[in-house]
Structure 1
């Protein structure tokens, strides 16, 4: 069953949006987005206005291989054209993954994701997403680290910010890409399985490297957001994971390992970036400049105690050293809604 459909025009190489009520320029593509199998998938193709027919660029029979907006707890998304700033914005529903009794106790259930600007990559093959720029107005107390070197097993703590409400941007520079393990195309059918079997503690060639967030003092509770680099026949495939399996000591929670793959030309630029927004139970991550996105909901016991600040780390468990030329992080203020 398909539900929560969306249909909009995009222009390759432009991060601006297109107004569907105006004439669509030549060369534009269209995106057909549908909600199915508890995820939002999409196709890119050409819309023939005269025949009222949408023709996908690529037809893939197995829906498990269809493109996804987000690999996490992100559903029923809807986009709109922001005429003031000339951009297309998308946001979605993220449901609770604790118990129904918890929902009753809170008096509410479900949140919206952070609004994202969405556009077509320059190669015309996939959508890119990034938090709307207005989010940056909530930043305060910036910390900055440069020139970090992470060898196998290194763990560097990020201090000086509110780790319960934070915005973190990190560039990971790969010192070598020769140690990338071979990519198995069958992994595309079940990327979360690969995240479970090759988790953040399993040493690899290049990776895992990334973030440990919402971590308790003894690491009994923690959430991993991390990457692994694989070499395919054509290019390099990046596995992006958000692993919630050790995120909370509370019983009855849904704590999966979310994951997905995206492609990068590491021969051209040996860098993998991550931006993660943390808003207490909401963890929203953008990998590779918005090529891979994962929304997650976490409920660590430490969140109950407002006086306790969970720990945050950047780490590398791969054999190849990873440099961090730039790490920036901010505490985030509460948003004030202006009507």
Structure 2
């Protein structure tokens, strides 16, 4: 296995070269120039910068040799060159530096992650480990702070998310009971060194998948939120359509009894590619979420594998509570990537609106539409003739469909979801070469998908079964992240 220095020399060279990538290389989503990227980790605002760590196999497009990579940014536009900072090179993480979190304590950023260890028979051991980052960027591994798994649980015990409340530190961690049921456990500490089990968080979901990965416990304006990624939910027509899901429950957690009084589990993203999100709070008191724009066990479906890389992260999103639901919107800084106005409309009544110039599929469209008597609105994008994706909103039946079955390259897919029968439609869609993020109704519904259209498959059409009124619409070409 190559050393961190060798990996980073390759990374620096790849980002400094004026290299011609394939048609699917992303402009404004974080992806690596080589290897596999998955879960965002250790998200934190530290030393006047955003620290974005992530799982990274820098050697291949497989889930092996998990390192932690890191990029830093002050503005979500200009980034440091991605580098490997944690390697699986100690006895307690030799089979992977698995997911974890970051928390600022004093003048250091403390990282808490799972060290994965397997013996020759494939038996797994799980260690919760600490590393520290100082203000000069030096990262030091401290080793395990928790080396046992509580009785009644399997070694599928990982992804600690740390936070502080009052004078205590806590972390919530994903677990699997010996009865093969997913759940989340809570630990506490006075000093971030000695940890004790508080217990299992008691939810209404006693039999909800075989494992809960990447849990986060946070509070927004007095409401407790448990975000987690359950594995093993049965697919339904309008829910749970991916191999694994990510979602949340809202309510109130009693820290004395660990009883969580909450509502129903809601999926965070209804597209084909979203998993393992993590949330952190920045210096402006924003709750920012970044997710993995991919799913486990589906790497070979992606066209970029043949070019030696796979997956990316979502754009950073601000989350907030409205109508007892989590809404999501891209952080304001993404507006700084807008370039020329490709098209605009205001007060236009029509049954079809079209733009064939979408700047090599790197654009943002923001529109508000009064549907008048129309109950069916369709948006074709990433091509409008022989190849295209389409979003269909059927307000008569209260359903939506993201249909990628007409795309020629990569996986073909259809995702169905329920929508409310609103009179107005708001859509904010970001197309980035081979990544699409769609925010509907002010972020009430979000869909993220990797879509590998041909480079010349461009254009966008909004059509309806009856006249609609486009109150306002703006279509911008989008620039890209800069790395230095």
TM-score, shorter chain, exceeding 0.5: yes
1:94 aligns with 2:293: yes
Q: Give 1:228's aligned residue.
A: 394
Deviation, 1:75, is 0.6
Q: Indicate if the aligned counterparts of 1:158 and 1:313 stay in contact, CA closer than 8 A.
A: yes
2:431 to 275, 278, 284: 278
- In structure 2, relative to structure 1, the CA distance for the partners of 1:286 and 1:31 (3 Å cut) is same
Deviation, 1:169, is 0.7
Structure 1, residues 240-275: CA drift from partner, whole Å, max 9, x if none?
Answer: 322100022x3xx321112322335x4xxx311111
Deviation, 1:161, is 4.3
Q: Give 1:212's aligned residue.
A: 380
Which structure has the greater CA radius of gyration? 2
Deviates more, 1:291-300 or 1:90-99: 90-99
1:297 to 425, 450, 457: 450
Structure 1, residues 218-250: CA drift from partner, whole Å, max 9, x if none?
Answer: x1110002311136xxxxx4x2322100022x3
Q: Indicate if the aligned counterparts of 1:242 and 1:296 stay in contact, CA closer than 8 A.
A: no
Q: Which segments of 5 or more consecutive residues in structure 2 lack a partner in the other structure? A: 1-210, 234-243
Matches within 5 A, 1:44-63: 44-58=250-264
Q: Give 2:88's aligned residue.
A: none
Q: Which segments of 5 or more consecutive residues in structure 1 lack a partner in the other structure? A: 12-27, 59-65, 177-204, 232-236
Higher share in strand: 2
TM-score (norm 2): 0.50
Deviation, 1:10, is 1.7
CA distance in 2, matches of 1:104, 1:263: 38
Q: Give 2:458's aligned residue.
A: 310
Deviation, 1:130, is 0.4
1:147 to 324, 333, 347: 347
Q: Indicate if the aligned counterparts of 1:141 and 1:161 stay in contact, CA closer than 8 A.
A: no
1:8 aligns with 2:218: yes
CA distance in 1, matches of 2:468, 2:360: 23
Q: Give 1:193's aligned residue.
A: none
Q: Indicate if the aligned counterparts of 1:44 and 1:57 stay in contact, CA closer than 8 A.
A: yes
- In structure 2, relative to structure 1, the CA distance for the partners of 1:102 and 1:212 (3 Å cut) is closer
Q: Indicate if the aligned counterparts of 2:366 and 2:475 stay in contact, CA closer than 8 A.
A: yes
Q: Give 2:411's aligned residue.
A: 254
1:263 to 420, 441, 466: 420
Q: Indicate if the aligned counterparts of 2:358 and 2:458 stay in contact, CA closer than 8 A.
A: no
Structure 1, residues 139-170: CA drift from partner, whole Å, max 9, x if none?
Answer: 0112311122233xx3x222554151000011
Q: Which has the higher contact order (CA 8 A, sep 6+)?
A: 1
RMSD (Å) for aligned C-alpha atoms = 2.2
Q: Indicate if the aligned counterparts of 1:147 and 1:324 stay in contact, CA closer than 8 A.
A: yes
Q: Give 1:244's aligned residue.
A: 404
Q: Indicate if the aligned counterparts of 1:150 and 1:321 stay in contact, CA closer than 8 A.
A: yes
TM-score (norm 1): 0.70
Aligned residues: 258
Structure 1, residues 155-192: CA drift from partner, whole Å, max 9, x if none?
Answer: x222554151000011110213xxxxxxxxxxxxxxxx
CA distance in 1, matches of 2:415, 2:475: 23
CA distance in 2, matches of 1:86, 1:158: 38
- In structure 2, relative to structure 1, the CA distance for the partners of 1:215 and 1:98 (3 Å cut) is farther
